[in-house]
Structure 1
């Protein structure tokens, strides 16, 4: 039965019952209308309106739940689907909405995976060019400066030495950027070594005091999952160094029977009332790609905690 006919029949039932009560009951209407008759009719009308409102509220309650779900749905934070309660068109509408959400989440996941894959490929290309082209060029410049400085008069030699140091600092910075773009330590030595190198580098440049704890015998997560964990940790730690005004940072990588937990907590100023930026949304997109859950908890003046819960991949025998 369509929604139109359901509402029509609900109103028809109320009106028929009211007409039957008026025809078969002791109530009559005089001309002019007596006060008692007006009271009875007013009370009957009030009863009709209340009964109609209750019936409509019960019948349209699933639509209210669907409206709330539509206004609160976030594809980056998948939640439970609204239950397809009700009958006829309402239940079909809720099922259609759930199907649409499934399709949108799948399409967003595919597009995000392609975008992040392209981003990683571009990062690797830029890192290689920085290392192979710019790095080698600056290395050649350093060697030439050394050769010139060795044969230069003393008045010019000191200035050439300063240029050497500036060039060497630029070369070190380029190498650091290349390492962040393409974490070779992650590919060669694994996730724990890459996280240690990342925190050591951040601490050296930002002055953060970093405390690390890694569980022993971490399960093999696979290259794709380890890259996501590393990128989430990299983004979170970079945000702390740049924006949190923190002095201490704790990084924990632990595991239990079915998942690996990454926790990064600082003692900075917290997120406050500011909306989530592109960095956090990027972390959420990466977490969705591997079926992980990401939570960002912050208290004003109490720091921020980023937690990534990664399910351990099952190995088919």
Structure 2
């Protein structure tokens, strides 16, 4: 008869240690997964917090922009239109009927001149809110007019070219885009010391694209993102706030040739108003 012999003590110890090692490895792996998931969750929460903070900064910038525009409008009306109307009222007071005809005619003439000045002032304020060229003829005409005025100064070569502007954007979107163009051009004129500015427009992959080139000092996307998160660079925050309303994006970069900077603005084609056509 043959008897089954028990495993030698050495083999049992090896099996025990192997099992213990596998158990420790499994526990370690579980702990690693748990800690990693917690780390991912903390990172996501921090990222969400940063995004919320960024949204708050953009919202505050948008509110400040609107409030500044309201204050400027109120100041123009109060400081300029108010005194003009008050002066016109002085000429048209209740004693006018008791004056001789020559004095009456002179008072009426002066009051009319003042009222004409007030009408022109209000018209200028209205034009600053919605430029008539933009309203009547669209973004291409308003932008070309802006660049022609800049180039006409003789200090910088400015040009613009629209390639795919067969359909106008919605009026509110066109105003947003035009204000962004104005802000970008203003920054370039103030800070870049460029010798030329060139704007082009195209359609690509369902996007309305505007691109500005200049050969002066500029910023890249990292600088733009940093300024947007800081307490300075209000103009750039306003740009970002305006484009978010239009669901647009903006990119700052330096050309690989290192000879000029590019600013690219993208607006979804869905924002094109199909009922408005551009007669070229």
Q: TM-score, normalised by structure 2?
A: 0.58
Does residue 288 of structure 1 match 2:244?
yes
User: Shift of residue 195 of structure 1?
Assistant: 0.9
Indicate the structure with greater strand content: 2
Shift of 1:251: 0.4
What is the SS of the residue equivalent to 2:168? coil
Any gaps of 5 or more consecutive residues in structure 1? 1-23, 28-39, 79-100, 137-174
Cα separation, 1, equivalents of 2:189 and 2:175: 21
| Preserved contact between residue 109 and residue 289 of structure 1 (Cα < 8 Å) | no
Measure how far apart 1:67 and its partner are. 3.5
How many aligned residue pairs are there?
218
Q: Distance in 1 between matches of 2:263 and 2:48?
A: 22
- 1:229-272, Cα deviation, whole Å (9 max, x unpaired): 01111111111111112112110122257331111121123327
Q: Which residue does the alignment assign to 1:270?
A: 218
Residue of structure 1 in register with 2:155 after alignment? 207
Match of 1:59 in 2: 34
Query: Aligned partners of 1:201, 1:215: CA distance in 2, in Å?
Result: 21
When residues 231 and 123 of structure 1 are mapped into structure 2, their CA distance, relative to the original with a 3 A threshold, is farther
Give RMSD over aligned pairs: 4.5
Are 1:197 and 2:145 matched, yes or no? Answer: yes
Quote how far apart the aligned CAs of 1:108 are: 7.4
TM-score (norm 1): 0.52
Q: Which runs of 5+ in 2 are unaligned?
A: 1-10, 86-122, 228-232, 276-280
- What do the CA deviations read for 1:179-205 (whole angstroms, capped 9, x no partner)? 666534322332112112222233345
Q: Which residue of 2 aligns with 1:245?
A: 193
Distance 1:315 1:182, change over 3 A: closer
**2: CA distance between counterparts of 1:74 and 1:222?**
34
SS in 2 for 1:60: helix
- Tell me, in whole angstroms, the C-alpha distance in 2 between the residues paired with 1:228 and 1:217: 16
Residue in structure 1 matched with residue 13 of structure 2 by the alignment = 26
Q: Deviations over 1:247-304 (max 9, x none)?
A: 1211012225733111112112332785422222221111111111222223695433
C-alpha separation in 2, matches of 1:184 and 1:306 = 26
The alpha carbon displacement at 1:309 in A equals 0.9
